[in-house]
Structure 1
């Protein structure tokens, strides 16, 4: 079992499927204090004043958020930090939350299906960086028909490997200890695990690189 639920419940909102990784209004952001810390090796970084072991993964501090999926109204334009991380770590379908190591994965030669919004038609490229977990075939077909953003344009590929790269999050300035401005084109800064600034990053998304990419037509794949 890859998550706390062997078969996650499906939720719909106004006739549209609510992605597993979408946050709900009751899942509020708790208040917390971010402080400067010093690790066992003497490295400086950030932490919570009341930090718990579950607040970190791979040594990186993660943004806290309430967990009560299905309660209230969904925010379809946002991402729940914990569920996105679960989906990326265990390669769960970002829509239904089930494992993508399924019969289609085997039939496709042990490859995962990845979809990206794109109106230009540029194919998913080798080594491409993404924060979007894979999608199972039934959810992919349903999503491109139901999601207004995907209907405007999307590309898809079968991917052999999805490898951890880093995180997207809020980057703090070590010298003055306040958040750095994110790059203009993004709401969050992208920081690799190998970057020394990773210790000063409050993570909100897991990021990975895609390898062994074969662009495909989703309609043909579904048929």
Structure 2
């Protein structure tokens, strides 16, 4: 992605007075049909779409779910994630709310670190090496989000992170014989690390990273310093 496209403003949408996150899916963005078949590839036997287009349906050899693009149409799912936009935000370090690159003035001022905000898990802070499907967020969007979005008003935590390392994907893993979905874990999606044989049997829906050199912070302190 070019430097110009990284900072290019993206159209912002509001719903009931709230700014809709860039990664949030809209009701008009439907999961697209695709017949799942067994395929034999370079890395072994796995799954694929019967009408597969490898340059669109796969990333790093992993099959991804198909979901239409209709951002701004219908009703948004504020805490949800559109597979493609989540992957774009995580891969290119885009703010999950406004969609702009988080490599900016704050990134430099924070010692080349990105800000992450997440729902608090029983009050626990974001930890070193934590696995996450969250993308970073810019400071203005972070301060707006924690006051505006119901799923964050219940509790949130913030941290500055030096780097996010690709770990794997989260999605639906299918039984190798029946091609039926395996029972989902408590967290909702199967998480499969890079290089695991289960990659070949998984329909990815989220990019997963691990966070490193994590420093918990208070947003009020970042705002005051800015």
Structure 1-normalised TM-score?
A: 0.95
Residue 115 of structure 2 corresponds to: 113
Residue 47 of structure 2 corresponds to: 46
* SS of alignment partner, residue 199 of structure 2: helix
* SS of alignment partner, residue 84 of structure 2: helix
1:96 maps to 2:98: yes
8 Å contact 1:20–1:95 — kept in the other structure? yes
1:46 and 1:66 map into 2 onto residues whose CA distance is: 21
Question: What per-residue deviation string (whole Å, max 9, x for no partner) do you get for residues 4-47 of structure 1?
Answer: 99211111100111110011111111111011100035x00110
8 Å contact 2:7–2:101 — kept in the other structure? no
Residue 125 of structure 1 corresponds to: 127
Deviates more, 1:95-104 or 1:71-80: 71-80
Following superposition, the deviation at residue 119 of structure 1 comes to 5.7
Give the 3 Å change call, closer, same or farther, for CA 207–221 of structure 1 in structure 2.
same
Residue 135 of structure 1 corresponds to: 137
8 Å contact 1:124–1:213 — kept in the other structure? yes
Q: What number of residue pairs does the alignment pair up? A: 221
Gaps of 5+ in 2: none
8 Å contact 1:182–1:188 — kept in the other structure? yes
Q: After superposition, where does 1:1-223 map in structure 2 within 5 Å?
A: 1=2, 6-41=8-43, 43-52=44-53, 53-118=55-120, 120-183=122-185, 185-223=186-224
* SS of alignment partner, residue 29 of structure 1: coil
CA-atom RMSD in angstroms: 1.5
Question: What per-residue deviation string (whole Å, max 9, x for no partner) do you get for residues 41-86 of structure 1?
Answer: 5x00110111112110011000000012111211223210000000
* SS of alignment partner, residue 46 of structure 2: strand
Structure 2-normalised TM-score?
A: 0.94
* SS of alignment partner, residue 165 of structure 1: strand
Give the 3 Å change call, closer, same or farther, for CA 12–131 of structure 1 in structure 2.
same
2:80 and 2:155 map into 1 onto residues whose CA distance is: 19
* SS of alignment partner, residue 70 of structure 1: coil
Following superposition, the deviation at residue 176 of structure 1 comes to 2.2
Gaps of 5+ in 1: none
Question: What per-residue deviation string (whole Å, max 9, x for no partner) do you get for residues 86-130 of structure 1?
Answer: 000001000000000011001100000001111633121110000
Deviates more, 1:2-11 or 1:28-37: 2-11
1:199 and 1:151 map into 2 onto residues whose CA distance is: 38
* SS of alignment partner, residue 116 of structure 2: strand
1:125 and 1:27 map into 2 onto residues whose CA distance is: 33
